Amino acid sequence: MALYAVVDPRTGETIKEYPTITDAELQDALARAHAAHAEWIQTTTVAQRAEMVRRVGELHDQQSQRLGEIIVREMGKPISEAVGEVAFCKDIYDFYADNAERLMADEPIELLGGEGSAVVRRSSYGVLLGIMPWNYPYYQVARFAAPNLVIGNTILLKHAPQCPESSAAMAEIFHEAGVPEGAYINIYATNDQIKDVIADPRVRGVSLTGSERAGAAVAETAGRHLKKVVLELGGSDPFIVLGSDDLDATVAAAAEARLGNAGQACNAGKRFIVLDELYDDFLAKFTAAMTAAKPGDPSSPETTIGPLSSALATERLSDQVRRALNQGARLITGGEHDGNFFAPTVLTDIPEGAEARYEEFFGPVAQVYRVASEEEAVALANDTPYGLGSYVMTDDQEQALRVADKLDTGMVFINAVGAEGAELPFGGVKRSGFGRELGRFGADEFVNKKMIRIGG
């Protein structure tokens, strides 16, 4: 089978294969992106590029059903979530279109001495390489492409091998919106070819969302060639329950945090850390909520959980659950799968030292822990190689902020699930990567902050 192919995770059927780019075609793409940058920044203003980005969002909105159906085929996302993902993309494109000139405006610097003035003037880097994952095929591209096109950077976009149809559809949308063909180029490249792209002096930066292994490989190559990198990698986000006026609502939020996108989200709640006095009730209600959630046909509007994205994803998750049980964890519900449809699963009593405590479970598998105090909850939450997001559920506002300050993560959501926004920075620390996307910080990664000092 070809490297790039649409394989329906419901059936395993290969729907369509796409040819990998040749080395000559890749060199042509690099040349076109480099030439497009030199021309584009001279012939367009920030406002004009902002309007192109706004049009990209409008086209996403107009084609949301078609785009949603594509990723149902590619990675099994339920159609309701798929269309919702497209809607979020429009929010992102609108945010950068609305705020482009403000984000790119000169920033005056107050001088400590001497006459005259100084400013920081933001300008484009050049050609950027985006390496995208399969779990949010449109959203991941939007948060990378929107700010960088506004800035004036040009983009080579390498999507996940199982998302060739959605990546082609996006390229068509960008070009229909007026983005020059050389300013956004979709490439079906191999990993070896991508190493050469990163090394190429015409490429100025790389943004990757994906696994730790992929992030380490990309960062290593980029580091050798002195390229700026943004990495958004895995997560094993803690969902800390310290108090609740409405435990049913807290449990519903917990289930949502674990089951969205069939649990295949880097910033999903994965480790549920519950204060002793709430633990028994929480576990009983949470188990019932997880058990009641039944995977189904992702093309149906009624389905809330689709299949895992591939047979490989199912195999990996099954192996993780098996190893967790072999190392002493207790299975409360789930653990089985029918093809790539994986039953929502709850594990408890995971002993210290077990591998499961330090791995990311990319699927509908929840770990539930009992703790005796706030301090123990924070210590357990931070006892992970990851540091992407976190959730704190409590009816004590002072406690919530106190705990938020102690969590070694890039994001904290207090009494809220699904509260991400185009204006809110997204990213992590530790092995979850570095750099930020979305909001004003997402427009400040691949930009030259040029200091201009003017004498009196």
Distance CA 62, CA 87 (A): 10
| Rounded-to-10 torsion of CA 435, 436, 440, 444 | 20
Answer for the pair 160, 133: CB distance below 8 angstroms, yes or no: yes
Contacts (Cβ under 8 Å, ≥6 apart) of 351? 327, 328, 329
Sequence-distant contacts of 190-197: CB under 8 A, at least 24 apart: 190/3, 190/20, 191/217, 193/21, 193/23, 193/26, 194/129, 194/131, 194/158, 194/218, 195/221, 196/26, 197/26, 197/30, 197/129, 197/156, 197/158
Answer for the pair 162, 336: CB distance below 8 angstroms, yes or no: no
Question: Active-site residue among 85, 266, 360, 374?
Answer: 266
Catalytic site residue 13? no
**Which of 364, 422, 366 has its CA nearest to residue 391?**
366
Distance CA 250, CA 195 (A): 45
Answer for the pair 431, 211: CB distance below 8 angstroms, yes or no: no
Catalytic site residue 232? yes
Distances (CA, A) of 353 to 238, 381, 383: 18, 15, 11
Question: Active-site residue among 81, 85, 165, 232?
Answer: 232
Centre a 10 Å sphere on the Cβ of residue 35 and count the other Cβ atoms it contains. 15
Distance CA 384, CA 390 (A): 12
- Residues annotated as catalytic (active site), given as ranges: 232, 266
